[in-house]
Amino acid sequence: MPRGDDVSCVIETAEGSFAITGETVNATFHMGNPGVNGFNNQQGGVKFTLDGQTTYGMIERSSPAELCTVIL
């Protein structure tokens, strides 16, 4: 999903757990990239929020091509 995908996470530390909300704000896709052994990659920007503070960061996800179905 190019925008609006929920990428929230929980960070666990010795002091406790922290829930961070995350939502994609843009994305690019690389399908069957021979430079990374045919993996399909999704990279994008994410808006993260914790305790009322917001920042932007990046996310990258990848999967082997044989595990993905491309719908055109």
Each residue of 1-48: pLDDT tens digit? 568 989 999 999 999 999 999 999 998 877 766 666 777 787 889 999
Whether residue 43 lies inside any domain: the answer is yes
> Is residue 72 situated within a structural domain?
no
Domain assignment present for 54: yes
* pTM of the full structure: 0.67
Does residue 3 form part of some domain?
no
Q: Is residue 69 part of a domain?
A: no
Phi-psi region of 26 (alpha: psi -120 to 50; beta: other; left: phi over 0): beta
Has residue 40 been placed in a domain? yes
- pLDDT value, residue 47: 96
Q: What's the total number of domains in the chain?
A: 1
Instruction: Note down the domain range covering 44.
Output: 9-63
Establish if 46 belongs to a structural domain: yes
Does some domain include residue 42? yes
